[in-house]
Chain A
Amino acid sequence: MAPAPELRRRLALAVLLLAALALPPVLAALGQGYYVGFAARVLIMAMAALSLDLVMGLGGMVSFGHAAFLGIGAYVVGIGSWHVFEGVPLPFGLAGSENALVVWPLAMLAAGLAALGIGAVSLRTTGIHFIMITLAFAQMLFYLAGGLKTYGGDDGITLYSRSSLGGLNLSDPFTFYYLCLGLLAAVLAAFLRLADSRFGMVLKGVRDNERRMRALGFPTYRYKLAAFTLSGAVCGLAGALLANASEFAGPAYMGWQRSGELLVMVVLGGMGSLVGAVLGAAALLILEEALAGLTQHWQLLLGALLLLLALSARRGLWGWLGGGGRHG
């Protein structure tokens, strides 16, 4: 990699991070404190899009069912909180919990295990069939979640309170925002390292030519499954955060439109660059919010914009900013 683009990439990243750090005080100074909560939601969806880009951009596995993992993460937090509020023990005599240090890792574990199972079956197919089979699994989970009568059925669970995390008050929008930012930055840094590691190289090799990688002796199926599982777990963490942000968990998080939205975010930002997924998520949500403020027919404008972008842009926002998309 030539030094100049690398430098430019790091500079752009640093500017983005500074802007994200400065955002809440700036919003508060402008008297727009309401938007801090919205910004936290942007960061959370960015994490979900980032997890999708890991499998899609690096591994070439186009998952149309990632919202399922988002939903599973949210449900773990929701169910934990429901049992605390209702005072009903879980099966096997376990108590409910609102402790983030318990519930969030559990959300990651549950989503990761689901991804392991779904991936184990789905990764036997490729291309369009992989798209459709991940969609099928997500739809199954969507309907199953709607059938959880105890946990509100189609209406889902409204959280009694946000998770507790040591001395932090997560109900404070500023605290919650910076926590989300810290977690997103950590995930992004880890993923960027991972992309340049041996594991990431193998993954990219599989994306570009799986047969060759197999001939070189790499167990490609296992690499892909590992990436898919990791991606599911991170998406589960995003789901846990999302449940906290909107104080709600329900089947609505798992619908296919949500999976489509995640796909759009990644493609919009520039697939395979990881940073692009974050930008794409921010761009889509901010556009939605801005257009919805302009006119009630905002979907028309957003749809037209997406169409134009798909027809024109080749490397997404991150490539357009000069970050250099890394996809082949």
Chain B
Amino acid sequence: MILQLVIEQGLNGLQFGVTLFLMAAGLTLVFGVMDVIHLSHGSFYMMGAFLTASLGSRFDSYLIGLALAIPAVALIGMAVEWIAIRRLYQRQHLDQVLATFGLIMIFNELVRMVWGSQPIFLSPPAALAGTVEVLPGIPYPLFRLAILAAGLAVAVLLAVMIRRTRLGMRLRAGASDRAMAGALGVDIDRLFTIVFGLGAGLAALAGGMAGTVLSVQVGMGESILILAFVVVVIGGIGSIKGALVGAILVGLVDTLARTALPVALRSAMAASQADSVAASLSSTSVYLLMVLVLAWRPKGLYGART
């Protein structure tokens, strides 16, 4: 019984962590390579979920919907970079906060105009609907495992791309010294557009997958955005490896706190009281983790730059 709970919640935590990683990977690249605080990253996540739902129901296939939503959102991301973000590189971080705060409002309202404010539901493909036994006697939803696997696969692909390909080399060069990379012939403008599009696509993938577990609604991007920022800071700004470790850590801590705290507190106080106290305490656990990590390592786990 205890084993079942631990494995089930551990997998839930991992799956949440993987979703967070997809968000944080884009953010940390935009942050590390382009030095832009991008608050509207959550909007790409939201649009990924909405487009997956719409296109999925039109083509009667979740996977086709997701496969179309990712490049669509990546293109939207590139357009946003080209129209607005590009003008903010030389600005203070605060101007970027102001501009991307405005972008959040624009995207939220646009989505509300197209899809309405009622949450919509996204069902996973029938082929992945059942459960499998991860250990004898311990069933787990197959689709959640698929999310976990897809997320890990993307993480590996991303790592290979950054370590082994020419684009990855340029990214690393841009992250460590933008001016020098530009002087050595890297087309910085194009690189930034690609990074932004890549980040938007990853966020759309995260949104399209998370939409099957959570409900798809306006504002869904903001709640995960803040957590993704926490992940980026814990992992160290600009570090993909840090984003992965940070995301898994945050996912596990959050899920385990949500599971373990109510049980622990119920032995100390009345059940209804314990549940609400536990809910608020477990929501703070992630932020506490970040404060502790920063106190221990002010630049995050894998951060090199200030």
Contact = CB atoms under 8 A, between A and B. Distances in A.
B84 A136 contact: no
Interface string B34-56: 00010100000000000000000
A281 to B, nearest CB: 14
Contacts of A308: 102
Given A310-B95, A311-B84, A132 B290 contact: yes
A185 to B, nearest CB: 27
A136 B106 contact: no
B149 to A, nearest CB: 31
A88 interface: no
Contacts of B276: 147, 149, 153
Interface residues of A, number: 45
Contacts of B237: 128
A306 B105 contact: yes
Given A129-B294, A133-B294, A299-B105, A140 B287 contact: yes
A282 interface: no
Contact of B37 (A121, A128, A297, A311): A128
A147 B277 contact: yes
B97 interface: yes
A149 B106 contact: no
Interface string A107-141: 00000000000000100111111011101110110
Interface in B115-141: none
Contacts of A35: none
Interface in B132-171: none
Contacts of B8: none
A146 B39 CA distance: 24
B2 interface: no
Contacts of A309: 98, 102
B106 A304 contact: yes
B103 A297 contact: no
Contact of B99 (A62, A143, A300, A307): A307
Interface size range on B against A:
35 or more
A245 interface: no
A140 B288 contact: yes
A277 to B, nearest CB: 13
Interface string A256-275: 11001001100110010000
B109 A299 contact: yes
A24 to B, nearest CB: 31
A139 B84 CA distance: 29
A140 B284 contact: yes
A303 interface: yes
A310 B287 contact: no
Contacts of B88: 310-311
A283 to B, nearest CB: 13
A302 interface: yes
A263 B298 contact: no
Contact of B94 (A129, A257, A267): A267
Given A135-B229, A263-B94, A307 B280 contact: no
B105 A129 contact: no
B239 interface: no
B87 A311 contact: yes
A306 B97 contact: no
Given A140-B287, A267-B97, A311-B87, A305 B233 contact: no
Contact of B110 (A128, A147, A257, A300): A300
A21 interface: no
B298 A143 contact: no
Nearest to B288: A140
A144 interface: yes
Given A121-B291, A147-B281, A307 B84 contact: yes
Given A143-B284, A264-B98, A303 B104 contact: yes
A187 to B, nearest CB: 22
Given A147-B276, A149-B273, A306 B98 contact: yes
B295 A297 contact: no
Contact of A125 (B102, B105, B229, B298): B298
A115 to B, nearest CB: 16
Contact of A147 (B37, B280, B290, B298): B280
Contact of B280 (A143, A297, A302, A304): A143
Interface centre among A121, A125, A310 (most CB of B within 10 A): A310
Contacts of B298: 124-125, 129
B290 A121 contact: no
Contact of B108 (A133, A256, A299): A299
Contacts of A263: 94, 97-98, 101
A312 to B, nearest CB: 9
A135 B226 contact: yes
Nearest to B278: A147
A144 B99 contact: no
B204 to A, nearest CB: 20
Contacts of B84: 307, 311
Interface string B195-217: 00000000000000000000000
Contacts of A147: 276-277, 279-281
A125 B101 contact: no
The 7 closest A-B pairs by CB, nearest first: A147-B280, A303-B105, A306-B102, A310-B99, A307-B102, A143-B283, A303-B106
Given A308-B102, A310-B95, 7 more contacts: A132-B233, A263-B94, A271-B94, A306-B102, A307-B84, A307-B103, A310-B91
7 contacts: A62-B93, A129-B233, A133-B291, A140-B287, A140-B288, A267-B94, A303-B102
Interface of B: 31, 37, 39, 84, 87-88, 91, 93-99, 101-110, 112-113, 222, 226, 229-230, 233, 237, 273, 276-277, 279-281, 283-284, 287-288, 290-291, 294-295, 298-299, 306
